[in-house]
Amino acid sequence: MSSVLSFQGVSVRRGASTILDDVSWEVEDGDRWVILGPNGAGKTTALQLASTRMHPTAGTVEILGERLGGTDVFELRPRVGLASASLAERIAPGEVVRDVVLTAAYGMTGRWREEYEGTDTEQADALLAAFDVARLADRRYGTLSEGERKRVQIARALMPDPELLLLDEPAAGLDLGGREELVGALAELAQDDASPVLVLVTHHPEEIPPGFTHALLLREGGVHAAGPLEEVMTAENLTATFGTPLEVSHDGDRWSARSAR
Ligand SMILES: Nc1ncnc2c1ncn2[C@@H]1O[C@H](COP(=O)(O)OP(=O)(O)OP(=O)(O)O)[C@@H](O)[C@H]1O
């Protein structure tokens, strides 16, 4: 197994705030990780580092064998897919859905006068089909529902064929049906050996797709626990991570948590 992502003693400080504090974390080839933690725990910051968009204040981050700070991030970036709310905000509402996915082949948002290969268009259409939004390919992005947009964002992140895919709260803002459909689509992705290594940030155990293998629990910028899901997803660990008494259930291939009060 080779290391896909390695944090060694990573801290991120901004002014007087310590956002991540001495975080060490290893992601291996074939892993599917979920990062869980309360608001402000540092989850998005961890993804910012993993996607080369931020450098640590202290410690080392290695991504796909390349050390941040010692490599050209513009060469590394296409190898790492990212779907996040802040990237999604850059997509113009008037952009045609197929182009939203297609332009990711060149690390761009917004189509200008580029010529795309027929194979790129075929790949964009195949990704839209894989996330069950092929029928929307000719629609304007701004006319899609939140659930449809989330699927298009993930298809876009997969377009450059990344070796590592980072998903920041992909189910945020979805209704129950939309969440379940997305969890199903992500389960298929997780269970496909050809998929990239996956790291998904969420607040809710219910959003862990079947096929995910590991969990990183973050609290106040530090690692509370990290390892295989079955070992980490205990009531004790989640209670300490979220700072409230919780019961945890594991029913078949799904997880859930509720107050133990
Ligand atoms: N530039 C900055 N300067 C100071 N504090 C910052 C800065 N960026 C982030 N923070 C703080 O760092 C903490 C962690 O932020 P981060 O977005 O990584 O948390 P998160 O776990 O993703 O939270 P959420 O679940 O609410 O999205 C937060 O308290 C945030 O206010």
DSSP H helices in the chain: 43-50, 73-76, 85-88, 97-102, 118-130, 146-158, 176-191, 229-232, 235-242
Percentage of the chain beyond pLDDT 90 is 82
> What is the domain extent for residue 163?
3-259
Percentage of the chain beyond pLDDT 70 is 95
Domain count, the chain: 1
* 95: CATH: 3.40.50.300
pLDDT digits (tens, 9 = 90+) for 127-140: 999 999 999 999 99
Which residues, judged by CB distance below 6 Å to any ligand atom, belong to the binding site of ligand 1?
A: 14, 17, 19, 37, 39-45
User: Which residue among 11, 13, 17, 57 is best mutated to probe the pocket of ligand 1, counting the most ligand atoms within 8 A of its Cβ?
Assistant: 17
CA separation for the pair 234, 241 (Å, rounded): 11
- Predicted local distance difference test score (pLDDT) of residue 40: 94
As to burial, measured by CB atoms within 10 angstroms (0-12 exposed, 13-18 middle, 19+ buried), residue 178 is middle
Calculate how far, in angstroms, residue 202's C-alpha sits from the geometric centre of ligand 1. 14
pLDDT digits (tens, 9 = 90+) for 63-102: 999 999 988 888 898 899 999 988 899 999 999 999 999 9
Please determine, for the modelled complex, whether the ipTM score is greater than 0.85: yes
The pLDDT confidence band at residue 104, using thresholds 50, 70 and 90, is confident
pTM confidence score: 0.93
- Predicted local distance difference test score (pLDDT) of residue 1: 58
Give me the mean pLDDT over the 238-245 stretch: 96
